[in-house]
Structure 1
Amino acid sequence: MIEFNMPSLGADMDEGTLLEWRVAPGSPVTRGQVVAVVDTAKAAVDVECWQDGTVLELLVQPGAKVAVGTPIATLLEAGESAASVHRPAPAQAPAAPPAASVAPPAVSASRPRISPAARQRAAELGIDASQLSGSGPQGAVTLQDVEHAARPATAGERTAAMRQAIGAAMSRSKREIPHYYLSENVPLGQAMAWLKAHNAELPPEQRLLPGVLQLKAIALALRDYPQLNGFWQDGAFRPAAGIHLGVAIALRQGGLIAPALHDVADKPLSVLMAELGELVQRARSGSLRSSELADASLTVTQLGDQGVDAVFGVIYPPQVALVGVGRLAERPWVSDGQLGVMPCAQFSLSADHRASDGHYGARFLAEVRRLLQTPENL
């Protein structure tokens, strides 16, 4: 039997609210299939199953707020049946003590504390109060808790919750990760000339943006500098299985999210451009998948379109590096002893000193710079 737990959809997620089940007991499921929708502080996320099986039991009702890692369903593996699954026998009650020492019965630990008004309102709304987190004394569920569970959060509430989650994750990152920072001014004259010629032959909807060339160059460089592409977990560096770049996307209602583009180094620029456009659209409409929020192995934040010369980001744990890209602008440039003007962008690296050092990071940025001088090979 497989326990399907509430997944972690990022370092800034401690709990999520189950909005909807997309399967029922007895349903066959396959790896990658969307089985539930979970609301985080940032978005409603389609949660994918990570293994083939058959749904045995749904343990959590829609509307419940659940901590990351808590079992929310059980699945049968291939060849298992409900009858063959071992279920632990209920614990036997201890022998009753002598009558003189019998204490007044305690409130059952499994029975939630809830005010009468909250219990009545939960029944009216069809909400399972046992699944709610209480904000009253000793964790009691209040009428306000029930009403809050029954209505969708307002835009202001969602933005405030997102800011709080981001702030908590970034505070933890700065406190626990020994950051080091590097930057490199990268000439992009050849890249922009190639891009102009390439786009001239395409309809507007198929044209490439400079940011796609930057993402591809970063991904290709990571092939040679794998210590920046992975995770710091359990006191050691664990390399990622693929190069999945988290792309920082500003949301229209405020806040930030960084879903992953998968296998960036292996895809043509045209495919990356299409996938990036779709990812931005789905991020802003709140229709991301759990794999896109859990798989990023390095995050890239491109703030050039906001007019900033450089950005030095905070690492998104458990990742070990973040690349920032500033605005593309014409700057004085010396080539072969001649002063001229060159379109350039400032690339920065924020990296975890436990996984790499400044010399390694500097060589990585130099490789990104080198790759961008031959854009036709990206």
Structure 2
Amino acid sequence: MRTSARLLALVASLESLQPAAAADKAVTLPWSAPATTQVVVEDRKFTSGDAQLAGTLYMPASRRPVTAIVVTHSASSPLRTASLYDHLKTILPALGIAVFVYDRRGSGESGTQNAGGNFTILADDAIAAVLHLKNDPRIDPRRIGTWGLSQGGWISPLAASRSRDIAFVIAVSAPVVTADVQMIFSSTNHLKANGYSQADIDQMVAARKAVDNYMRGTVSRADAQEKLDGIKTKPWFKYLYMGETFRDREVSGWRKEIENDPLKNLEAVTVPTLVLYGADDAVVPVADSAQRLNIVASRMPKVQVHVIAGADHAMEMSADLKTSLDPKNDGTEQPDSPEYFALLSSWLAAQRLVGS
């Protein structure tokens, strides 16, 4: 009994020293040592426009104010608990950087009203998160930036172009083409990966373009709907991420998305910016995006672009193509590319954002 009591006392004393990020582990081994990086985890609420949003701050212990990064969301990962963001919660505090992840408006604890495809609203939510963190004396108000993957890679530069409070931008797997071009590229690869014919691909592209052109006002709604009706029963329709009908162009969120040119947003960013792509990304046209960036590179001296060998859209190397493109796995991504981790860390260090 005495030995058991001593073990229990030892476990209790070690648990008190564990970082908050690890405090939710069901069992702490009695021989565990306290980690060097101590992290305080705090739930927060902040206001953006007419919405109250909820998030979680992962704050490394430090004697001086630290850098902080606000996470902007992938389209398929609106919740702060999504596995896509777990690596940030581990890597960034270890570098002495706080990370703030929140539920996208209309998701989780951030209300029920979404942005309706309006990227400006989502960018302003990120800005509101930055302003919220500026009030925390543990955070250096001059060193708050944003990280976003995929759609979040559109939102982060847009936010930086609209606010001087954002000190740096990290955009991962962010297509530097409009949303309609990106989705045709993605849907084509979804069909190819699942063995569908070129005739199927051509039919899909024709339907997508009809809907897109209706949004631009060059095709009638009836003609666009007819094209969509012709494919909505196809077994591959799920790979298109489209509904069986669409909203009127005057109120359509999709119209807002395709009218947004992410290259213009990037060109308007004047702070240090890191753009990362996976060479094997089947969702984003990396070659076209990198080419567009190269054309304007002389006007964007603070932008660095890297294409990472073997990495896919979510910076994963372990997932096979069909698995990574299966809609049922959306929101379960877990980045695991060592080169991605290395580039992210080394760039942050080069910008003097690491540590206090």
| TM-score bracket relative to the smaller structure | under 0.3
Report the structure, 1 or 2, having the larger strand content: 1
Report the structure, 1 or 2, having the larger helix content: 2
User: Normalising by structure 2, what TM-score?
Assistant: 0.23
Q: Report which of the two structures shows the higher radius of gyration computed on alpha carbons.
A: 1
